[in-house]
Amino acid sequence: MALSGSSSARDEKVHPVIGMTTYLQQAQTGVWDVRASFLPQIYFTGVNLAGGIALLLPPQPVDDAIADRVLDRVDGLVITGGPDVDPARYGQEPHPSTNKPDRERDDWEFALLAGALRRGIPVLGVCRGAQVLNTALGGTLHQHLPDVIGHTHHQKGNAVFGTSAVRTVPGTKLAGLIGETSDAQCYHHQAIDRIGDGLVVSARDTDGVIEAVELPGDDFVLGVQWHPEERLDDIRLFTGLVAAARSYATERVS
């Protein structure tokens, strides 16, 4: 009995390592104006507050062996927000409003995601990350959401986030984490259209836009179209990811 209790206590103290993908673009700091890898602090603050250790993963040349070496060292993966996924990934020509493809970042994130899914590493996709998850599993995107719903509330521009009321699907992991409804901070002009293989919708907003998808089953694989890092007074999604990563880390050591 004492041994069992002691092991459980040790497991609770495990701080899992959460790999977080980053941007790679021109950045200015002081006298420097260089191409750089970066991630807004609020992302890894959310992971830290939930008990995880953030490890930043900058885009770089990748193959399956390199992705596996990286994944050997993480217990969870966050695919973060950013520019649009290359429409060629889901068999479409680019819409005039679609960002110029960043194929290096696409290659990096798709390789990490594929490896994480093979291993059962917990995954949280944020905004672009949800779209990467969907397209990696064979789904498609609406390239310009205002063409579909007739307004720009989901991406107001000028770094102003819109607030969308999302309703979760009963019985999903997401519903278990955040309940029936949530006010989501949104900044996206694209959205999921056809669902990827094996995924289920776990939330929609009042316009009917798909705001979250997940893989059913025991593994934690969840993509949300909104930005949970913008609401650090509510870290339930980060807490869910870190708890799943802690279990993965503990089982891997065992």
Q: Are 64 and 111 a contacting pair, CB within 8 Å? A: yes
Q: How far apart are CA 252 and CA 254, in angstroms?
A: 5
Among 199, 39, 194, 188, which residue's Cα sits nearest to residue 105? 39
Active site residue: 109, 211, 214, 229, which one? Answer: 229
Active site residue: 109, 127, 154, 211, which one? Answer: 127
Q: Are 234 and 5 a contacting pair, CB within 8 Å? A: no
227 is catalytic: yes
- β-pairing, 23-29 vs 32-38, is antiparallel
Residue 205 has which token pair? 């907003």
| Cβ neighbours of 202 (radius 10 Å) | 27
The separation between CA 99 and the C-alpha centre of its own chain, rounded to angstroms, equals: 19
- The full length of the chain comes to 254
Residue 10 parent element (H or E): helix 2-13
Angle between helices 2-13 and 236-253 (to 10 degrees): 130
Active site residue: 109, 189, 227, 230, which one? Answer: 227
Q: Are 15 and 75 a contacting pair, CB within 8 Å? A: no
Task: Give, rounded to a whole angstrom, the gap between the first and last alpha carbons of the chain.
Answer: 18
127 is catalytic: yes
Angle between helices 103-119 and 128-136 (to 10 degrees): 70
Q: Which residues are catalytic?
A: 127, 227, 229
